[in-house]
């Protein structure tokens, strides 16, 4: 039986042109005030003015779901997370509050490698169970699809363990997980001082294996001083391309490596972070097909300056927003908090932030044709929020607002 959703104060359809939204489309929400959404099985059959949707033969006899005067929109698409880990990094947190930097902490044995120790000591079943719990937290905050990176295993078996946990959780649902192999997240202790050998291992052994088991869609690396450089980026992109993996890059995060320019040349689907971009980087980004995926929750948590979102948007770049959920730099899975930070700290408008958190997040995952907007033929992933006006989603921060969430046509979360 079809489902007909009525009585929303606003339906944000996000309907618009194909391709990542930028320039004049950067804040177009496609708001309907007397709208309806018709769903059959896992797909949207129609979304538009109520009078038009009601003419669809499937609307007759459909089950009615009332949005009760609230905002209805596509579920958030969170295009950058590192969600498979064992424990929070409370020592790192406390050291940083005492004045240490992310780099100081990593040099002293904390940082990514401390999470690697936890993952290496964990069973796949426990990682899977932990991720399943976190998946429900994402869903309850209105996120229906995430990208998830490995990168806390750093050897073949442990990276496979992380990716298999993602596959198991995504397969069971309701949260859909698009996996990224981030083998080059840090040089593991057994390769200390032998970065090039590790990169060779990543390219020659790990990428082909991950791809042959179809465990990832993307390959990524942490292109940063003390981690991996532009040569490594080129090698990993080439090995990924050969194995059929698309490219994402942690680019210009803590320092400017010129990794954005290189990522554009390599046709990256997204370049993420971009805290240290400069004006000269912007024209090439604006004419590229690469999405600038900003993760300002990590700036908030590390107490660092924000990426220049306004400059990026105004120069014509397609901007996505994501949480970067991870134990080191952003232990926040709530996209509404990220939308709030984007507005208050980076001066994005609520409409721009919501475009970035939905349809442009989908484009940052290569899923723009099926996810991220309420249009006929797309997957029925929706979230209904306790708000009458979409600007409230950025305005009320720090308090849950989700009323219900639908994934593939089924209501999978309801606020109590
Ligand atoms: O996106 N930059 C590298 N990776 C993560 C941090 C991972 C960690 O500290 O555990 C990030 O900020
Ligand atoms: Fe990250």
CATH (residue range 77-363): 3.20.20.140
Q: Specify burial of residue 19 (Cβ count, 10 A radius: 0-12, 13-18, 19+).
A: middle
pTM: 0.98
Ligand approaching nearest to the C-alpha of 80: 2
Q: What 8-state DSSP symbol labels residue 222? A: B
Contacts of 267 (CB under 8 A, 6+ apart): 247, 289, 290
Q: Does the C-beta of 138 come closer than 6 Å to ligand 1?
A: no
User: Do the beta carbons of residue 319 and residue 292 sit within 8 Å?
Assistant: yes
pLDDT at 306: 98
CATH (residue range 3-74+372-414): 2.30.40.10
Contacts of 231 (CB under 8 A, 6+ apart): none
Helix (H) or strand (E) holding 94: helix 90-97
Q: Determine the 3-state secondary structure of 215 from DSSP.
A: coil
User: Do the beta carbons of residue 106 and residue 141 sit within 8 Å?
Assistant: no
Q: Which residues have C-beta under 5 Å from ligand 2, the single-atom ion? A: 324
pLDDT at 251: 98
pLDDT at 87: 97
Q: How many CA atoms lie within 13 A of 325 on its CB side?
A: 22
d(CA 85, CA 184): 16
Query: Mean pLDDT across the chain, nearest whole number?
Result: 98
pLDDT at 402: 98
Ligand 1 atom nearest residue 182's Cα: 4
Kindly report the protein residue whose alpha carbon is nearest to atom 5 of ligand 1: 329
- Over the stretch 199-241, which tens digit does the pLDDT of each residue have? 999 999 999 999 999 999 999 999 999 999 999 999 999 999 9
* Domain chopping of the chain, boundaries: 3-74+372-414, 77-363
User: How far, in whole angstroms, is CA 374 from its chain's centroid?
Assistant: 19
If one residue of 79, 80, 82 were mutated to test the ligand 1 pocket, choosing by the most ligand atoms within 8 A of its CB, it would be 82
Residue numbers of the chain with a pLDDT score lower than 50: none
User: Do the beta carbons of residue 114 and residue 89 sit within 8 Å?
Assistant: yes
If one residue of 87, 185, 224 were mutated to test the ligand 1 pocket, choosing by the most ligand atoms within 8 A of its CB, it would be 185
Q: Across the strands, what pairs with 66?
A: 6
* Positive/negative CA dihedral, 72, 83, 253, 103: positive
If one residue of 222, 227, 233 were mutated to test the ligand 1 pocket, choosing by the most ligand atoms within 8 A of its CB, it would be 222
HEC string of 270-290 equals EEEECCCCCHHHHHHHHHCCC
φ, ψ dihedrals at 368, nearest 5°: -65, -25
The closest alpha carbon to 360, from 257, 291, 260, belongs to 291
User: Do the beta carbons of residue 150 and residue 160 sit within 8 Å?
Assistant: no
d(CA 162, CA 153): 7
Going by DSSP bridges, is the β-strand pair 35-40/402-407 parallel, antiparallel, or unpaired? Answer: unpaired
Kindly report the protein residue whose alpha carbon is nearest to atom 2 of ligand 1: 222
- What distances in angstroms separate CA 349 from CA 304, 376, 392, one per listed residue? 21, 27, 12
Q: Find out whether the peptide bond into 81 is cis, omega within 30 degrees of 0.
A: no
- Over the stretch 97-134, which tens digit does the pLDDT of each residue have? 999 999 999 999 899 999 999 999 999 999 999 999 99
* Positive/negative CA dihedral, 126, 85, 167, 245: negative
Structure tokens at 104: 């100081």
Ligand approaching nearest to the C-alpha of 328: 1
Residues in the chain: 416
pLDDT at 109: 87
Q: Does the C-beta of 112 come closer than 6 Å to ligand 1?
A: yes
Ligand approaching nearest to the C-alpha of 102: 1
Ligand 1 atom nearest residue 115's Cα: 10
Q: Specify burial of residue 192 (Cβ count, 10 A radius: 0-12, 13-18, 19+).
A: exposed
Q: Does the C-beta of 119 come closer than 6 Å to ligand 1?
A: no
């Amino acid at each position: 039986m079809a489902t007909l959703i009525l009585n929303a104060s606003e339906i944000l359809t996000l309907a618009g042109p194909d391709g990542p939204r930028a320039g004049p489309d950067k804040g177009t929400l496609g708001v309907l005030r007397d709208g309806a959404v018709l769903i059959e099985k896992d797909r949207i059959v129609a979304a538009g003015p109520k009078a038009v949707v009601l003419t669809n033969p499937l609307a007759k006899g459909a089950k009615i779901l009332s949005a009760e005067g609230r905002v209805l929109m596509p579920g958030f698409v969170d295009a950058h997370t590192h969600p498979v880990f064992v424990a929070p990094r409370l020592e790192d947190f406390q050291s940083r509050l005492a004045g240490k930097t992310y780099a100081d902490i990593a040099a002293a044995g904390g940082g990514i490698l401390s999470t690697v120790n936890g993952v290496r000591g964990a069973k796949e079943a426990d990682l899977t169970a932990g991720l399943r719990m976190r998946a429900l937290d994402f869903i309850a905050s209105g996120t229906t699809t995430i990208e998830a990176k490995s990168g806390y295993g750093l050897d073949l078996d442990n990276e496979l363990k992380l990716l298999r946990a993602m596959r198991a959780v995504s397969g069971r649902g309701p949260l859909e997980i698009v996996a990224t192999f981030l083998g080059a997240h840090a040089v593991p202790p057994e390769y200390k001082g032998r970065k090039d050998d590790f990169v060779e291992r990543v390219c020659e052994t790990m990428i082909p294996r991950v791809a042959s088991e179809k465990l990832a869609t993307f390959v990524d690396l942490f292109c940063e001083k003390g981690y991996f450089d532009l040569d490594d980026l080129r090698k990993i992109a080439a090995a990924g391309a050969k194995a059929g993996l698309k490219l994402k890059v942690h680019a210009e995060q803590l320092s400017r490596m010129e990794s954005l320019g290189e990522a554009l040349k390599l046709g990256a689907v997204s370049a993420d972070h971009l805290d240290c971009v400069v004006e000269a980087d912007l024209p090439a980004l604006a004419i590229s097909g690469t999405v600038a995926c900003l993760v300002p929750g990590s700036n908030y948590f590390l107490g660092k300056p924000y990426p220049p979102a306004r400059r990026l948007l105004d120069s014509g770049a397609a901007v996505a927003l994501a949480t970067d959920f991870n134990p080191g730099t952003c232990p926040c899975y709530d996209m509404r908090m990220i939308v709030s930070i984007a507005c208050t700290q980076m001066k994005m408008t609520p409409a721009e932030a919501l475009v970035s958190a939905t349809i442009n997040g989908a484009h940052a995952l290569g899923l723009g044709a099926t996810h991220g907007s309420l249009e006929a033929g797309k997957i029925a992933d929706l979230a209904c929020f306790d708000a009458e006006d979409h600007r409230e989603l950025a305005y009320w921060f720090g308090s849950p607002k989700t009323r219900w969430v639908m994934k593939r046509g089924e209501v999978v979360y309801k606020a109590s």
